[in-house]
Amino acid sequence: MLALTLAAVPGYAQMDSDKPDPRRMDAAKIVTDPNPMSDPKGENDIDRVSDSYQPKGIELGDFLLLPQIEIEESYNSNIYAQKQGAKGDFITTVRPEMKLRSQTKQHAFNTLAYLDYKHFWTYSNDDVLDGEIFADGRYDINSTTNLNASVDFISRHEERGTSDDIEGDEPTPTRSYAATLGGKTQQGKYIFEASSGVTYRDFDDVATSAGTMINNDDRDRTELLGSLRGAYEMFPGYAAVAKLTGNSRWYDSQRDDSGLARDSYGFRAEAGLGVDLTQLIRGDFLVGYLHQDYSDPSFADPSGLSFKAAFNWTPSRMTLVVPALERSVEETTLTSASAIVRSSATLLVRHELARNILLAGFAGVYYDEYEGTPYTSLTAETNFRVTYAFTPEVYLSGQVGYKKKDSDVPDSSYDQAVVGLRLGFRY
């Protein structure tokens, strides 16, 4: 079942997120970011330093080609995310990347391609090569209406310590293929947005340390998502917001290795308030109801309170603070659990210390309930990053992070510290 949604775009008063907000002119670039939580740990903070420290790129007609390569050296205190017998290792990461951006005033087209190779100095079984090819575009029908679409292919390896990590001898290879189509329009004080998307997820089998194979074919699935969004500006700075979202998840295998049917469909209906008060704060606060229905009658169907709130607060022209809350239903293949009901609270802070120096801090707490089981997990993480641009072509960034997970799920608790230093070159 392809479900539909009805909601307002965050920061509704800035109707076109592709145009800078004139009230924030001459402020730090970070305070104009329409979606700062898309990169909470600051992996791409080099793109957020002042325009005077952005590379010129290579002109290709109406397009700009931006090549880049990063080399990172890091240390992870617990690479296997284990409670007992933690093993630490140094990791060398090499990441070449290529971006292509259109430079026309009307319409837009962008592509991104990268490879990400990680080499573990001691435990080389965890060496991985990941990559992504992404393209998106926007077609402007007029100044208030546009269509957008994207395609995405990602090849990566499952992170150790996740709820679905099956503790193979090597990280689990996984691929996803995704496509989206949507549009938005503004009619006076009304804003509407519609979107739909499909994602196929594929998981490879992996060997155990005993030499047996773990079957992951029963995790392969197709996920459908659709949305309709809308808001009405009651008076300047405030809008009434309504939101309805839905999904459908189909597994390739009718039943998994435990004999369970994991197909499901669900929705969340929410309403609330959108705010945009001069350049001080903007965002949404939504509360409603969520439900996910599973095919297997033995599964518990999660339902109940849903909420989603995120505010972009700019206490100064050089600082961005983003508190966020959310309760959602996440997919899992943990035996006997139908889903993970996750309640999260996060805080992101970015500060431009100088035009070429950006500080970023992130903290998050996640409480997971494994529906249909007595298991719960509480995860807390923090991350701090400094990004320094020597010139538009050369930059350095360093990070310090810590994560701790306390879980009733057997062999799932761990704590992990990470430090790293990254050197980047771009043109």
Split into its structural domains, the chain has a count of 1
Is residue 223 in some structural domain?
Answer: yes
Q: What is the pLDDT of residues 32-44, one digit of tens each?
A: 888 899 999 999 9
Domain extent for 136: 22-426
Mean pLDDT of the chain: 91
- In the predicted model, is pLDDT for residue 316 greater than 50? yes
Asked if the model's pLDDT at residue 165 lies above 80, the reply is: no
Of 19-23, 94-98, 184-188, 200-204, give the lowest mean pLDDT range.
19-23
The pLDDT of residue 21: 54
**Bridge partners (DSSP) listed for residue 273:** 240, 285
In this predicted structure, which of 86-90, 277-281, 285-289 has the lowest mean pLDDT? Answer: 277-281
The CATH number assigned to the domain holding 82 equals 2.40.160
**Comparing 323 with 216, which gets the higher pLDDT?**
323
- Where residue 25 falls among pLDDT bands split at 50, 70, 90? low
124 part of a folded domain: yes
- Judge whether 10 lies within some domain: no
Whether 298 is in a domain gets the answer yes
Which candidate, 382, 352, 351, 377, places its Cα nearest to that of 366? 377
Q: Which two tokens stand for residue 194?
A: 């519609």
pLDDT at 9 over 60: no
Is it the case that residue 276 has pLDDT exceeding 70? yes
DSSP-derived secondary structure letter, 331: -
- Is residue 3 situated within a structural domain? no
User: Who contacts 345 (Cβ-Cβ below 8 Å, separation ≥6)?
Assistant: 323, 324, 325, 364, 365
pLDDT band of residue 168 (cuts 50, 70, 90) is confident
pLDDT in tens, 342-370: 999 999 999 999 999 999 999 999 999 99
DSSP designation for 7: -
In a domain, 53, yes or no: yes
Q: Is residue 8 part of a domain?
A: no
Q: What percent of the chain has pLDDT over 70?
A: 92
Residue 401 domain flag? yes
3-state secondary structure 332-388: CCCCCCCCEEEEEEEEEEEEEEECCEEEEEEEEEEEEEECCCCCEEEEEEEEEEEEE
**Closest-CA residue to 112 (of 138, 93, 132):** 132
Question: Is the pLDDT higher at 352 or at 125?
Answer: 352
Asked if residues 114 and 97 have their Cβ atoms less than 8 Å apart, the reply is yes
Query: Residue 196: is its pLDDT beyond 70?
Result: yes
- Give 89's strand partners: 76
